[in-house]
Amino acid sequence: MAQKLSEFTPPKVWERKKGNGGKFASINRPTAGPTHDKDLPVGKHPLQLYSMATPNGVKVTIMLEELLELGHKGAEYDAWLIDINEGDQFGSGFVDVNPNSKIPALMDYSMNPPTRVFESGSILLYLAEKFGAFLPEDHRDRTECLNWLFWQMGSAPYLGGGFGHFYAYAPIKIEYGIDRFAMEVKRQLDVLDRHLAENEYMAGNSYSIADIAIWPWYGAVVKGVVYDAAEFLSAHEYTHVRRWTDQVVQRAAVRRGRMVNRAWGEPGSQLRERHDADDFETSTWDKIGNEKT
């Protein structure tokens, strides 16, 4: 039987009340702009990344590690942790790089004046074009890659903001919200499954920024890594998505990329700041003398 919904009549004008951001009440606000003055650190490499290892953040660290793996030395980067739970995204320096106050955000100092890049899809495209990698050259193949990149950017608000929010984070379980978003997420998983039944990777037979954008979200959902929802969504049914997920995670760059700016989980899996290639060996959270947090 469908859940009986409590009655709520919206007031004439919405007002901000204590707690109406749910789990994110302390960081959600109805206004933009900085809340405090804080400059961003700048390291020694031309590319400066300000991020955290959420699925949107991991897209960019995987891309940078993939570029380095291919031998693009110009892709060396400093990655600084922006702790979104502490409100770092509202510091004045960060807002200058991304007026939308969301990670990931990138500065490219290899040119004068430097270029700011925000929105994970825009960052992937920027890096692909800058280094001529992970984006097919042929116009038709490039378009197919971008079709899927933009598909991911459009679907993430349903997956994270919709399904994840109502299933995992909302303070009360609302059947209507969960049903609406579970239905859409399962439809999206089926879209992916049918495509991956016919194609090794999202843009055909070569790995591209489309895979890099989609894997941190849908790969994590089918493995139950985000929202603990694999069983709820019958993830085992999406066999082609699971095949592709397992294939992508074999890549050394993917394994490294998901460690960068990570501030939870096993200490050995957290490289909170990354400044050099050998930081993966020397500077994980355990190696610099910390316990699990």
Ligand X SMILES: N[C@@H](CCC(=O)N[C@@H](CS)C(=O)NCC(=O)O)C(=O)O
DSSP character at residue 2: P
Question: Does the footprint of ligand X cover residue 95 (CB under 6 A)?
Answer: no
Shortest spacing between CB 44 and ligand X, in angstroms: 25
3-class DSSP assignment, residue 201 = strand
Q: How many residues does the chain have?
A: 293
CA dist 291 and 179 (Å) reads: 39
CB under 6 A: which stretch of 96-104, 173-181, 192-200, 268-276 binds ligand X? Answer: 96-104
Six-digit token pair at 232? 């709820």
The answer to whether 127 contacts ligand X (rule: CB under 6 A) is no
Q: Locate 15 and state its tokens.
A: 């007002």
Confirm or reject binding of residue 89 to ligand X (CB under 6 A).
yes
Stretch that binds ligand X, among 71-79, 102-110, 163-171, 238-246 (CB under 6 A): 102-110
Amino acid code (one letter) for 190:
D
- Residue 146 binds to ligand X (criterion: CB under 6 A): no
- Element (DSSP H or E) covering residue 267: none
User: Quick one: which segment of 99-107, 201-209, 218-226, 265-273 binds ligand X (CB under 6 A)?
Assistant: 99-107
Q: How far is the CB of 150 from ligand X (least distance, A)?
A: 11
Residue 50 near residue 22, CB atoms below 8 Å: no
Name the residue nearer to ligand X (CB basis): 58 or 242.
Answer: 58
Interface with ligand X, residue 120, by CB under 6 A: yes
- For residues 91 and 136, which CB has a smaller minimum distance to ligand X in the complex? 91
The answer to whether 103 contacts ligand X (rule: CB under 6 A) is yes
Burial category of 173 from C-beta neighbours within 10 Å (exposed 0-12, middle 13-18, buried 19 and up): exposed
Tell me which H or E stretch contains 50: strand 47-51
Q: Does 27 interact with ligand X (rule: CB under 6 A)?
A: yes
Q: Which of 102, 242, 251, 272 binds ligand X (CB under 6 A)?
A: 102
CB-side exposure of 25: number of CA atoms within 13 Å? 9
Site membership for ligand X, residue 203 (CB under 6 A): no
Which residues of this chain interact with ligand X, rule CB under 6 A?
27, 54, 56, 84, 89, 101-104, 119-120
